[in-house]
């Protein structure tokens, strides 16, 4: 039976106290959840949430990471600092980082390589805008993001990498890609991985879908052969929504 990877990206939401309350509610709700579950609070809440989920099966993630380990990098957060707080996974190249803060494929790739070198598990986010999709450039855009994002990643490190397909037009809009549409893009991504690393690596690659995932559509998305999990934004902010998504099988 496939093991799914359900991750919550809390984005720029919640104070420390609110984050701890949500984390505790999720520990209670997901005690018997068989999937791999990750939550990524804001940097300011990582330490407190790390304490709140200690001893549970929930993995702690960060939403971003600086491209260096230390030095004169005002405003950045080092992988060393993340590991120090118990962070194991890190979301990289989220479309909001790419489009609102100008992160390039080269910068995202640098972060992916650094995360792997530091023993963190990167979630590499890829996805096309509506304009790109309508111009017939979906595969070119997503393919480039995957190839450039993974440049220099050794085959033996690939198991630590997750890819999240998040069509930009489906993020926070309530518009979900249909399960068939999402699955087709996931299959395309798997083909790109096969071209780079071979069939076995492509088959083993965990590819999450993200973009308006909610309790009502999680099961039908997860039923698709190429969808191995979810990266959830808005619906990860309440235990009564994220709980049923992670527990979509029960």
Contact of 65 with 89, CB cutoff 8 Å: no
- 20 in contact with ligand 13P (CB under 6 A): no
Active site residue 73: no
Which residue is catalytic, options 35, 103, 121, 166?
166
DSSP run (H or E) holding 207: strand 206-210
- Catalytic residue status for 134: no
Which candidate, 106, 244, 82, 138, places its Cα nearest to that of 230?
244
Per CB under 6 A, 171 contacts ligand 13P? yes
Among the listed ranges 24-32, 70-78, 164-172, 240-248, the one in contact with ligand 13P (CB under 6 A) is 164-172
Site for ligand 13P contains 231 (CB under 6 A): yes
Q: In the numeric block, which tokens belong to residue 206? A: 């965990």
The number of residues in the chain equals 250
The reply on whether position 9 binds ligand 13P by CB under 6 A is yes
| 166 touches ligand 13P by CB under 6 A | yes
With a CB cutoff of 8 Å and minimum separation 6, the contacts of 134 are none
Contacts of 101 (CB under 8 A, 6+ apart): none
Contact between 210 and ligand 13P per CB under 6 A? yes
Task: List residues with catalytic annotation.
Answer: 94, 166
Under the rule (CB under 6 A), what is the footprint of ligand 13P?
A: 9, 94, 166, 171-172, 210-213, 231-235
């Amino acid at each position: 039976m496939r093991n799914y990877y359900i991750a919550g990206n809390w984005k720029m939401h919640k104070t420390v106290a609110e984050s701890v309350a949500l984390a505790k509610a999720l520990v209670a709700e997901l005690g018997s959840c068989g999937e791999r579950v990750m939550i990524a609070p804001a940097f300011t809440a990582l330490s407190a949430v790390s304490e709140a989920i200690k001893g549970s099966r929930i993995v702690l993630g960060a939403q971003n990471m600086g491209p260096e380990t230390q030095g004169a990098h005002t405003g950045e957060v080092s992988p060393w600092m993340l590991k120090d707080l118990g962070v194991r996974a890190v979301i990289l190249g989220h479309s909001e980082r790419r489009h609102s803060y100008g992160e390039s494929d080269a910068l995202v790739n640098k972060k992916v390589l650094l995360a792997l070198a530091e023993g963190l598990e990167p979630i590499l986010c890829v996805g096309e805008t509506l304009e790109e999709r309508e111009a017939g450039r979906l595969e070119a855009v997503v393919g480039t993001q995957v190839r450039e994002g993974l440049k220099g990643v050794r085959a033996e490190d690939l198991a630590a990498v997750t890819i999240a397909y998040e069509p930009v037009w489906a993020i926070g809009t309530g518009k979900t890609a249909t399960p068939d549409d999402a699955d087709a893009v996931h299959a395309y991504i798997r083909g790109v991985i096969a071209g780079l690393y071979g069939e076995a690596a492509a088959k083993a690659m965990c590819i999450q879908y993200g973009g308006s995932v909610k309790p009502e559509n999680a099961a039908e998305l997860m039923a698709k052969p190429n969808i191995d999990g979810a990266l959830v934004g808005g619906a990860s902010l309440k235990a009564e929504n994220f709980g049923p998504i992670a527990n979509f099988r029960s």
